[in-house]
Amino acid sequence: MSGAAARVSDATDNWVDTRAPLWSRPYLRLSRLDRPIGSWLLLMPCWWSAALAAGMAHDLKRLPLMLVLFLIGAFVMRGAGCTWNDITDRDLDAQVERTRSRPIPAGQVSVPRIDMAVDCGLVVNPDRVRAQMEGAAIMAISNTLYSNISAKQGHIEQGNFDDYQVARTDITPDTRVYLIDSNAPPAGVGEPGVPPTAPAICNAIYAATGKRIRALPIDPQLLRG
């Protein structure tokens, strides 16, 4: 499996793998919400101390609020710490089998912006052409980075859009379309935005990492290290 659906080797078959939306899984894994034992280790002493202090002061009115604040703080603190750890250790993690599948060393790709230049002859409806190119960019990103289909024991594992990822609003890029002035007769704009987008993404990866991509969708495993 590739992209956000790819599991972390040292934490599998948990609620993040089975129930969390695909788009959220890298962030949940990055903050270790797929294995919250560290957050509980931070939280339990805080809860115990707050309960003891409230009991000693004979004031239980603010205890529920303190428990909620400690709960939020424990998970936020651990998530931030684990994220920073993965950022600083990403090169080392990429060389260790147990950690190389974590979101940062696994090399999951994002596309922040796409620029598309279109020469389709005389443009009759500029807004319609731009809308077509923007839709083509989303379709091409889905084909390039996601849309992976896997089989297990003779059956396709994906059944619907809850486990078959396509580019959604939160991961679609800032798309800028440039229309070239032309006196040529009007031509179609049905699909010309889709085919060149995947090579453009792969060339951007090559420019950034020196690694050539030869198959789609892009396997994050190829971008490690």
Q: How many distinct structural domains can be found in the chain?
A: 2
- Final residue in a domain of this structure, among 64, 80, 106: 106
Residue 60: DSSP 8-state:
-
Identify the DSSP state of 79.
H
Q: Tell me the CATH number at 137.
A: 3.30.365.10
Last residue of some domain: 91, 106, 121? Answer: 106
The CA R_g of the chain, rounded to the nearest whole Å, is: 23
d(CA 85, CA 82) in angstroms, rounded, equals 5
pLDDT at position 198 over 60: yes
Render 150-211 in DSSP notation, one character per residue. -EETTEES--STTTS----GGG--EEEEEEPP--SPP---SSTTSTTHHHHHHHHHHHHHS-
pLDDT tens by residue, 145-155: 888 888 889 99
For residue 193, the enclosing domain spans: 113-223
120 plus 138 within the same structural domain: yes
Same domain, residue pair 99 and 135: no
Strands 174-179 and 151-152: unpaired
pLDDT at 2 over 50: no
Could you report the per-residue pLDDT of 126-183, keeping only the tens digit for each? 999 999 999 998 899 888 888 888 888 999 988 888 778 788 776 778 889 999 998 8
